[in-house]
Structure 1
Amino acid sequence: MNANPHLSVVVPVKNEAGNIAPLVAEIEAACAGLAFELIYVDDGSTDGTPAALAAARAGRPWLRALRHARSGGQSAAVRSGVLAARGAIVATLDGDGQNDPAFIPALLEALEAAGPGAGLAQGQRRGRKDGPFKMLQSRIANGVRGRILNDATRDTGCGLKVFRRAVYLRLPYFDALHRFMPALVAREGFSVVHRDVVDRPRMTGVSNYGLFDRLWVGLLDLAGVWWLIRRKRADPRPEEIVDPAGQPADQDVGC
Structure 2
Amino acid sequence: MSYDFTIIVPVYNEEDNLIRVEQALLDYTKIATRKTKILFVNDGSKDTSQDLIESICNRQTDFNYICFKENRGLSAAIKAGFDYVDTPLVGYIDSDLQTAPEDFNLLLEHIDTYDLVTGVRANRKDSFVKNMSSTIANGIRRAFTHDGMDDTGCPLKVIKTDYAKRIPMFKGLHRFLPAMILLQEGKIIQVPVQHFPRIAGTAKFGLWNRLLGPLMDCFAYLWMKKKYINYTVAKKG
Q: Which of the residues 109, 113, 127 maps onto 2:123?
A: 127
SS in 2 for 1:196: strand
What is the 5 A alignment of 1:168-207? Answer: 168-207=164-203
Gaps of 5+ in 1: 241-247, 249-255
What percent identity do the matched residue pairs reach?
28
For residues 186 and 154 of structure 1, the distance between their equivalents in structure 2, rounded to whole angstroms, comes to 15
Normalising by structure 2, we get a TM-score of 0.93
Q: Which of the residues 143, 146, 169 maps onto 1:147?
A: 143
Shift of 1:230: 3.5
Larger Rg: 1
Q: Residue by residue, what CA displacement relative to the aligned partner does 1:169-213 show, whole Å, maximum 9, x if unpaired?
A: 111111122110111101100000211001111130111122123
One-letter code aligned to 2:100: D
- What is aligned with 1:9? 7
Query: 1:35 aligned to 2:31?
Result: no
Q: Residue by residue, what CA displacement relative to the aligned partner does 1:65-89 show, whole Å, maximum 9, x if unpaired?
A: 2111100000111111221112110
Normalising by structure 1, we get a TM-score of 0.86
One-letter code aligned to 2:15: A
Shift of 1:217: 2.1
Query: 1:85 aligned to 2:77?
Result: no
For the 8 Å contact 2:18–2:95, the answer to whether it is kept is yes
For the 8 Å contact 2:99–2:155, the answer to whether it is kept is yes
For the 8 Å contact 2:140–2:215, the answer to whether it is kept is no
Shift in alpha-carbon separation, 1:119–1:46, aligned structure 2, 3 A: same
SS in 2 for 1:30: helix
Shift of 1:45: 0.6
What is the 5 A alignment of 1:1-255? Answer: 2=1, 4-32=2-30, 34-112=34-112, 114=113, 118-232=114-228, 235=231
**Where do 4+ consecutive residues of structure 1 move more than 4 Å?**
236-240
Shift in alpha-carbon separation, 1:56–1:182, aligned structure 2, 3 A: same
For residues 233 and 61 of structure 1, the distance between their equivalents in structure 2, rounded to whole angstroms, comes to 39
